[in-house]
Structure 1
Amino acid sequence: MTRILGAVFAGGRSRRFGSDKAVALFDGTTLIDHAIAALADQCDTVVVSGRAVAGCICVADRPAPDLGPLGGLNAALHHAVAHGYDAVVSVPCDMPILPADLVARLQAAGSTSFVTAMPVVGLWPARLADELDLHLAEGGDRSMWRWTARVAALPVTIDGLANVNTPDDLARLKR
């Protein structure tokens, strides 16, 4: 049986949003709590990368803050290795609506997969932890796109995902 660690990335600065978007409300619940709840229903355990959240297992971005989603993914992969998980499913804190079968759809595509339009949403084998250390140490482009190419991750099309970058995005989602 595959043990899956869910990881919610929450280490961003929310510059485009203008305030801490992780705690912005959607349907009376914070964006980060929506993401945590969606993964909790599909994963064995959920961690939050990049910030402290009361009542949650939290991991600091690795090897340092401000590395974008790859810092959060690296922290989650190393946590997975240290605690016996086989893989990590990652999502950002600003995606309050996720499919109830997200993990199953990612797994159906292969052991390393990502959502085509949003590569921060993905399935990553824990064995990639050392490879991501190396990738980050090399410097250069820290984009999720470069990472997906490096590990030959397979794209999965999931329509209807919306992420909240601005207050207008959140207002559109509420409609």
Structure 2
Amino acid sequence: MISGIAVLVLAGGEGSRIGGGKPLRRLGADTLVARALSLARRWSDQVLVAVREPEQVQGIDAELVRDDPGLSGPLGGLAAGLRQARLSRRDALLAIPCDTPFLPADLLERLAQSIGGAKVAVAASAGRLHPSCALWRVEALDALPDWQASGRRSLIGFADAAGHVVVEWPVVPFDPFFNVNSEADLRRAEAILAG
């Protein structure tokens, strides 16, 4: 059984396809990162935000962790979050991206119920894995040095190396793991929000 879960909001990406500054882009009344934080705070009393630089989320009231500089992409944020969760004596870390504004409310519950003896429970929809939306036991961190030494950097590859299960979500009326990467995506998110 898992007790003591921290939540990590991954916000360290450059967001170049949307013109930069993705975490602070507005969707409705809130920024993308504020929407993610609001959801994360429903799941845990310890919410972390992983960034390359604090300016990426300026004005946000949250505990920041800096992406591991030796790892590129979301893996750097995940590594930093897992280390902080371990220091805080948490059993697991739920990672969510800041650019996925419609995550299912039952994300943590279903991942926690499904993880069993695995180190990672990864969300999926329409047969596609979403490794940035996953529940990671902190001991998955023990597999990171070997994964780093392999020269590979993908999150799903690391989840596979650590040992993962997959939890599938329906995509009706829309995919809850839809993420905002471009201006067109942001307009689609606004349309979904408007209902």
Cα distance, 1:127–1:92 mapped onto 2, change above 3 Å: same
Structure of larger gyration radius:
2
RMSD over aligned CA atoms reads 1.6
State the shift of 1:28 in Å.
1.3
SS in 2 for 1:127: helix
Task: Tell me what 1:125 maps to.
Answer: 137
Q: Which moved more, 1:3-12 or 1:65-74?
A: 65-74
Tell me what 1:114 maps to. 122
| Equivalent in 155, 159, 162 of residue 178 of structure 2 | 162
Partners in 1 of 2:104 and 2:18 — Cα distance?
24
Matched-pair contact (CA < 8 Å) for 1:11–1:65: no
Shift of residue 154, structure 1, vs aligned partner: 0.6
Q: Is the 8 A contact 1:8 1:90 kept in 2?
A: yes
Q: Which of the numbers 55, 65, 70 marks the counterpart of 1:59?
A: 65
- Displacement over 6 Å in runs of 4+: none
Q: Could you tell me the TM-score, scaled by structure 1's length?
A: 0.92
Q: C-alpha distance in 2, partners of 1:97/1:144? A: 21
Q: 1:119 to 1:12 in 2, by over 3 A?
A: same
Residue 76 of structure 1 pairs with residue 94 of structure 2:
no
Query: What is the aligned residue count?
Result: 173
Which consecutive residues of structure 2, in runs of 5 or more, have no partner in the other structure? Answer: none
Q: Post-superposition shift, 1:130? A: 2.6
TM-score (norm 2): 0.83
Identity %: 31
Q: Would the alpha carbon gap of residues 59 and 97 (structure 1) be closer, same or farther in structure 2, given more than 3 Å must change?
A: same
| Alignment gaps of 5+ in structure 1 | none
